[in-house]
Amino acid sequence: MNSLTSNHKPGFFKISRELRDKIYLYYFTLDNGYTYNHESKQLRSTNEEPYPLALSSVSRQVRQETVGLALEYNDLHFHTYLNPALYINKEIGHYDKRLKALYNETSLLLLGKFADGGCFTHEVCRFVEKHYPKFAHIANGIRNRSWYVGKGDRLRNYAGMVKSEDWKEIPSLTRDFVLSTLRYLFNEPCGQVTHLKIERIFEHLCRRRGRFESSLLEPWNPPTNWDFADLERIVPETPGYWEKEKYRLSAACLAIEFLARLSDRNIRSVRKIHLDEDHPSIAWPECHARGLIPFAKGYPDMSIVRNVSLWRNILPGGCSTSLKTYMTDKTFADFPEGQIRIEKLLSADVSAKCLAPWIMEATALPSLGMPEGSFKMILDGQLIPERSTEMFDVARVDAQSQLLFEKDKPANCSAQQNWLRLRQMPNFIMFGFPQAIRDIVNGTSLIHCNFHIPAQPNPVPRHEVRPWEHIRPYDDMPHYKTLAVLEPHRSRSLEDWECEWRWAHEEFLFDTEDMNYTWADLPEASFICSRNSESSHYKKTPDVIKR
């Protein structure tokens, strides 16, 4: 009976299942997989090959045997996305600036209103020590009021700690600490603190008015029209917004959007996700991989590779290439032929503002629940590989400087004062930065580089150190094309450390005239060209190489 049934099967199904699977593998595999299209919310063939999914409609059995194979056999690619509609770009830009202003206001609330109101009780400090031990010194310092200038005055030393980056801890964890502590304080009797203001902030952050148990608005989730409107109501002003800037969604943000729309059966078929972070994007993109942790934990067969362009994303995005003091149409029109002034690439920005946020956010992922082996980040320096090595050498020297500085830290300070004074120094890039750089060099990190990393940084000429009594941090200092490697000295003060660091980085520019690309070309993709400008400088696309 079985042989009779087998003889009546169509010719294709007479083939063994093992052989049919090989045919499916050949048929469904595309050369470069699929690329996500944000506008259609669908995957498209990267090389515009014919879609193989038509085979699934041949018969019910074929459809059952091939369900999910297109996702299983192909890599899924996601890129940063810029909406072509200018009004949408404007909405996203306002959202980015308002969201950052909102989080900054939470820091001001924690370090200002709650600190002045005497709200940091023993219970609050125990809460911080239990859930955020790295920030226990802050809570204890506020409770002891050890850094007040005078009665009723603001905390003098916290003036520069409004932004999460200023805390010199992993920025996204700093924001978590601030928000969680505020939630705890709000639910505790807090003296004469004005609850109305904090209610107004959490009204948007929590999506349910007055209910802090609901999920917070995470920066890696794609913003919706509801987010645009509600955030505009809560934060009417948009400090730092400039309509000539391009505001993109990160590749990780789009991947989260896509995976959230898949059924459980389809998402189990996904094997490899490529995130191509090829341009700067909104809302702290360096932390957006945190939104992929639930998917990586729930589907262990999924692997994620995040490719971050060093020259098109990390460096332009971190060195503040958008205009600072001339961000209006009036001043923009004053430039000849509509040219935009691009900020210089300073060595002082390479570690603190550019590399450290990306590196440290990635190293935090395992502690936040990312399964081992599920995530890898690549620092992509293939655009200019030789200069990428030079750029990474700057980070290695800065990491060495921080390590020496930590060993030579002041001993006559309390733990709270020591914590704060270290983080106010430019030598202190970020907590854990030296170890993270060492792990990358040793190949034991989840972060990899696709450019050469020598066993030791390239040798740099040594410079005679000036007598410290004749140098102040802002004196005129000679400009060098190399960085001085710092070594420990006896009885070095904080002023000595700061002076030497600034001297080593003072006006240290990366000359790109001998390269196919100039530095001005690389951040250009972050700006919207003026329609009235006829300058060829703005007609080039970012992919055109200057000869």
Q: Is-above-0.85 flag for pTM?
A: no
More confident residue, 347 or 537: 347
When pLDDT is averaged across residues 287-300 and rounded to a whole number, the result is 97
Q: Is pLDDT at 545 greater than 50 in this prediction?
A: no
Q: What percent of the chain has pLDDT over 70?
A: 66
pLDDT band at 66 (very low <50, low <70, confident <90, very high): confident
More confident residue, 471 or 206: 206
Q: Which residue has the tokens 């031990």?
A: 133
pLDDT band at 535 (very low <50, low <70, confident <90, very high): very low
The candidate with the shortest Cα–Cα distance to 398, out of 358, 451, 438, is: 438
Q: Is 339 left (phi over 0), alpha (psi -120 to 50) or beta?
A: beta
Cβ pair 168, 430 in contact under 8 A:
yes
More confident residue, 273 or 461: 273
Q: What share of the chain is helix, strand, coil (3-state, %, to 5)?
A: 50, 10, 45
More confident residue, 162 or 253: 253
Q: Is pLDDT at 155 greater than 70 in this prediction?
A: no
**CB contact burial 273-283 (16+ within 10 A = b; e otherwise):** bbbbbbbbbbb
Predicted confidence (pLDDT) per residue in 236-280, tens digit: 877 777 777 889 999 999 999 999 999 999 999 999 999 999 999
Structure tokens at 388: 């990428």
Q: How much is the pLDDT for 482?
A: 37
Cβ pair 281, 494 in contact under 8 A:
no
Helix boundaries (H) for 235-346: 251-261, 264-267, 293-298, 315-318, 329-333
**Least confident window among 267-276, 328-337, 377-386:** 328-337
Q: What percent of the chain has pLDDT over 90?
A: 34
Q: How much is the pLDDT for 510?
A: 58
Residues 6 or more apart whose Cβ sits within 8 Å of residue 14: 6
User: From CA 77, how far away is CA 305, in angstroms rounded?
Assistant: 10
User: From CA 234, how far away is CA 481, in angstroms rounded?
Assistant: 47
pLDDT band at 368 (very low <50, low <70, confident <90, very high): very high
Q: How much is the pLDDT for 119?
A: 73
Which of 118-127, 223-232, 394-403, 421-430: highest mean pLDDT? 394-403
Cβ pair 305, 311 in contact under 8 A:
no
Cβ pair 257, 129 in contact under 8 A:
no
More confident residue, 130 or 105: 130
More confident residue, 533 or 15: 15
Q: How much is the pLDDT for 226?
A: 83
Q: Is pLDDT at 524 greater than 70 in this prediction?
A: no
User: From CA 180, how far away is CA 128, in angstroms rounded?
Assistant: 9
Sequence spans of domains, the chain: 2-66, 86-234, 251-505
Q: How much is the pLDDT for 101?
A: 87
Q: By CB neighbour count within 10 A (0-12 exposed, 13-18 middle, 19+ buried), where does 210 fall? A: exposed
Cβ pair 254, 113 in contact under 8 A:
no
Q: How much is the pLDDT for 179?
A: 87
When pLDDT is averaged across residues 82-91 and rounded to a whole number, the result is 89
Q: How much is the pLDDT for 405?
A: 85
Q: How much is the pLDDT for 60?
A: 76
Q: Is pLDDT at 122 greater than 90 in this prediction?
A: no
Sheet bearing 76-79, strands edge to edge = 42-45, 34-37, 76-79, 272-277, 303-309, 375-380, 447-449
Q: Is pLDDT at 462 greater than 60 in this prediction?
A: no
Q: Which residue has the tokens 């009204």?
A: 203
When pLDDT is averaged across residues 394-408 and rounded to a whole number, the result is 88
User: From CA 44, how far away is CA 33, in angstroms rounded?
Assistant: 9
pLDDT band at 153 (very low <50, low <70, confident <90, very high): very low
Q: Is pLDDT at 470 greater than 80 in this prediction?
A: no
Q: How much is the pLDDT for 55?
A: 65
User: From CA 93, how far away is CA 246, in angstroms rounded?
Assistant: 8
Q: How much is the pLDDT for 481?
A: 34
